[in-house]
Structure 1
Amino acid sequence: MGTHLERFAEPAAEARQALVRMIVADGGLTDPAWCRAFEEVPRHLFVPYYFVHRPGGYERLWCEDLDPVRRERWLRGAYYDGPLATRVRDGELISSSSQPSLMARMLQALDVRDGDAVLEIGAGTGYNAALLCHRLGDGRVTTIDVDTEITESARAHLTDAGYRPRVVTGDGARGCPERAPFDRIIATCTLPSVPRAWLPQCRPGARILAPLSTGLIALRVRDDDRGRVAEGHFLRTSAYFVALRGGSAVPERRIGGVPRRMLENDLFRFLLTLTAGSLDPHEALSLWERERRPTRDRFGVTVSGRGQWAWLDDPGGPYVWPLGEPGDGER
Structure 2
Amino acid sequence: MTPDPVAARVEMVAELAGSGALGRGPVRDALLALPREVLIPQAYVRRSAPGEQPPRWDLLDWTAPGDREELLAVLYGGGSVLIQHDGEPVLGRTRGARSAGSITSMSTVMSVTASLLQELELRPGQRVLDVGTGAGVTAAVACHVCGDAGVVSLDRDRHVVDAARTRLGELGFRPAVVCGAGEQGLPSSAPYDRILVSFAVPRVPDALVDQLAPGGRLLVHVTTASPSWPGLAIVTREPEGRIAAELRAVEFAHRAGHGMERIVLSRAFLERIAGEPGRTTRRSRTAPPADTARGLWLAVGHLYGGLVRDFGAGPDQLVIGAPGCGSWLRVRPDGHGRWAVTTSGPRDIWDEIQDVAARWRAAGEPGSYPLVIDPGGAQRAGTRCGRLSWQLAEPSARADGSPR
Q: TM-score over 0.5 for the alignment?
A: yes
- Rg larger in 1 or in 2? 2
Distance 2:244 2:26 in 1: 27
Quick one: which of 147, 150, 155 aligns to 2:157? Answer: 147
Structure-2 separation of matches of 1:205 and 1:298:
21
RMSD: 3.5
Contact 1:61 1:73 in 2 (8 A): no
Residues 134-186 of structure 1 show CA distances to partners (whole Å, capped at 9, x for unaligned) of 01000111110111111111111211222111101001111110110011110
Alpha-carbon distance between aligned partners in 1 of 2:348 and 2:215, rounded to the nearest angstrom: 36
Is contact 2:304–2:352 with CA below 8 Å preserved after alignment? no
- In structure 1, distance between residues paired with 2:279 and 2:120: 36
Equivalent in the alignment of 1:138? 148
Paired residues of 2:196 and 2:218 also in contact (CA < 8 A)? yes
Distance in 2 (alpha carbons) for counterparts of 1:180 and 1:171: 15
Relative to its length, the structure with more helix (as a share) is: 1
Q: Does 1:249 align with 2:260?
A: yes
**Corresponding residue number in structure 2 for 1:33:** 26
Query: Which position in structure 2 is the counterpart of 1:171?
Result: 181
Aligned to 2:247: 233
1:77 corresponds to:
74
Query: Is there any run of 5+ residues in structure 2 with no aligned partner, and where?
Result: 87-99, 224-229, 281-286, 308-346, 398-404
Deviates more, 1:30-39 or 1:276-285: 276-285
SS in 1 for 2:250: strand
Which shifted more, 43-52 or 101-110?
43-52
Moved more, 22-31 or 54-63: 54-63
For residue 24 of structure 1, what is the amino acid of its counterpart? A
Alignment of 1:164-313 (within 5 A): 164-213=174-223, 214-222=230-238, 229-234=243-248, 237-245=250-258, 249-250=260-261, 252=263, 267=294, 270-275=298-303, 282=349, 285-290=353-358, 291-292=360-361, 297-313=367-383
2:4 counterpart SS class? helix
Q: Output one character per residue of 1:166-217: Cα deviation in whole Å (capped at 9) or x when no partner.
A: 1010011111101100111101111121111112211123111111222322
Answer with 40-49 or 292-301: which moved more: 292-301
CA deviation after TM superposition for structure 1 residue 298, in Å: 2.4
Provide closer, same or farther for how the CA distance between residues 48 and 325 of structure 1 changes in structure 2, counting only shifts above 3 A. Answer: same
Quickly say closer, same or farther: Cα 1:231–1:64, change in 2 above 3 A: closer
Q: Is the 1:146–1:170 contact (alpha carbons within 8 Å) kept by the matching residues of 2?
A: yes
TM-score, structure 1 normalization: 0.81
Instruction: Report the counterpart of residue 112 of structure 2 in structure 1.
Output: 102
Distance 2:247 2:202 in 1: 16
Match of 1:49 among 42, 53, 58: 42
Equivalent residue, structure 2, for 1:3: none
- In structure 2, what residue type is equivalent to 1:82? G
Gaps of at least 5 residues in structure 1 are: 1-7
Report the AA paired with residue 75 of structure 1: L
Q: Which amino acid aligns with 2:253?
A: Y
Q: Does residue 321 of the first structure (1) align with residue 335 of the second (2)? A: no
Moved more, 167-176 or 96-105: 96-105
Q: d(CA) in 2 for partners of 1:296 and 1:263? A: 14
- Match of 1:114, SS state, is coil
Q: Distance in 2 between matches of 1:67 and 1:228?
A: 55
1:276 positional shift: 6.3
CA shift in 2, pair 1:175/1:159, >3 Å: same
Query: Relative contact order (C-alpha < 8 Å, sep 6+): which is higher?
Result: 1
SS of 1:238's equivalent in the other structure is: coil
SS at match of 2:31: helix
Q: TM-score, normalised by structure 2?
A: 0.67
Matched AA of 2:136 = G
Structure 1 counterpart of 2:231, one-letter code: G
Query: How far 1:275 moved relative to its partner?
Result: 4.0
CA–CA distance in structure 2, aligned partners of residues 112 and 38 of structure 1: 13
Instruction: Describe the shift of the 1:73–1:114 C-alpha distance in structure 2 as closer, same or farther (beyond 3 A).
Output: same
Q: What is the count of residue pairs matched by the alignment?
A: 312
CA separation of 1:278/1:311 partners in 2, compared to 1, >3 Å: closer, same or farther? farther
CA distance in 2, matches of 1:93, 1:269: 29
**In 1, Cα distance between equivalents of 2:291 and 2:76:** 30
